[in-house]
Amino acid sequence: MTSVTAPAMSVEINGKISGKKIVLASNNQGKLKEFFHVLSPLGISLHAQSEFAVPEAEEPYFTFVENALTKARHAARMTGLPALADDSGICVNALQGAPGVFSARFAGEPKSDARNNQHLIQQLAGFADKSAYYYCILVYVRSEHDPQPVIADGLWHGEIIDQPKGEHGFGYDPHFWIPSLNKSVAELTPSEKSQLSHRGQALRTLLEKLA
């Protein structure tokens, strides 16, 4: 994977992460771009776990928070650095919350956004209710055994559309419609998405907690 790098600057947030390297426990290129888009201007020295040859952690749990905590502790253990992990997905009401934590592999292995979207549309065929929401939870740990991880989450409501719209974003974004904007998420600019999205909400809450 091509590594995304951020400026090696520091930021003073009440001393919590000032001057520290933080490893991002993800190999998802789309997520990496969104994190760096928000955090780089703040001068936070954020580094993808791929820079340290950290393999992906297992995600054996049925809840977002357990998977995020597992990934954060794994990255911290492998690098010796504070770590930030994200676990997120799309939850469709007609499917009782599926795909949820299985969003990245909804259509099976290997992971494929195109096949996941196709599978979702097939699963929703015949349902009148197309409502759904994106959910993101972030976990920040100072070390592998941090007894007080900092946790923040965000939620973004919308609905699923059959035909993809837009060229931006990743994952389910072309099929995730925001009625109030009359746009899909993939039609939003990166700045618009970071202001509104589940991940943007969670990031702002996390930074407030660190402050």
| Annotated catalytic residue 162 | no
Question: What ranges make up the beta strands (E) of the chain?
Answer: 21-24, 45-48, 83-92, 131-141, 150-160, 176-178, 183-184
Distance of alpha carbon 102 from alpha carbon 96, whole angstroms: 13
168 — phi, psi (to 5°)? -95, 180
Distance of alpha carbon 133 from alpha carbon 177, whole angstroms: 10
- From 86, 87, 113, 153, active-site residue: 87
Catalytic center residues: 87
